[in-house]
A and B are shown apart, each in its own frame.
Chain A
Amino acid sequence: KQEVTQIPAALSVPEGENLVLNCSFTDSAIYNLQWFRQDPGKGLTSLLLIQSSQREQTSGRLNASLDKSSGRSTLYIAASQPGDSATYLCAVYRYGQNFVFGPGTRLSVLP
């Protein structure tokens, strides 16, 4: 059974810092991995999707990497801003099945 963990559970940083969020999964037979953002009281916003054949994806200040063999992904946020404060979820997808989500990392960027 696939299990997804995320470290750290919570993170508080001053504005402007670069930071790394970590995601680990136990079953490397994934089709893709996706990073989401969830704002308090709101739904999910997809940030980056990495196919299993890819090593990384970039969007603006966000960069996600994937090492499928070791069961790890990282989300790098450059020059963090208060507006980045949210919970970040990673989820892995196995072809023909469903997403399995990690518990999330709660990020707080202080002005």
Chain B
Amino acid sequence: GAVVSQHPSRVICKSGTSVKIECRSLDFQATTMFWYRQFPKQSLMLMATSNEGSKATYEQGVEKDKFLINHASLTLSTLTVTSAHPEDSSFYICSARIGATGNTIYFGEGSWLTVV
């Protein structure tokens, strides 16, 4: 079964509203979680790296004030897309790493966001 649970799997929201996506590690403590997004017919691109209890590190070009990442516990990280616009419609997926620099990473099932 899945060791990383991502919710919701699909969400439709109105333009201007905010939407939160959760990523939970089910059987392990994830010191580090990663958030990726994928635009249609493009590759998965890393958005940010979040470490439990500290601020996320964002990749170049990703607006940290728009994509709020919270990693308040060792089993939960959340991505909030604030003031969503249609161009934010995308596939968002998280992954969780066991330990700070471990070699085992599990992916969530992904979330499809549609902003109308």
Measured CB to CB, the residues of A under 8 A from B are 4, 31-32, 36, 41-44, 46, 89, 91, 93, 95-96, 98-104
Contacts and interface: CB of A to CB of B under 8 A. Distances in A.
A93 B105 contact: yes
Nearest to B49: A98
Given A41-B112, A101-B44, A103-B42, A95 B107 contact: no
B44 A89 contact: yes
A46 B44 contact: no
B66 to A, nearest CB: 21
- Contact residue range for chain B? 20 to 34
B46 A98 contact: yes
Contact of A99 (B6, B95, B109, B112): B95
Contact of B43 (A42, A44, A104): A104
Contact of A43 (B45, B100, B109): B109
B93 interface: yes
A43 B93 contact: yes
A36 B108 CA distance: 13
B18 to A, nearest CB: 23
B43 A89 contact: yes
Contacts of A41: 112
A103 B39 CA distance: 11
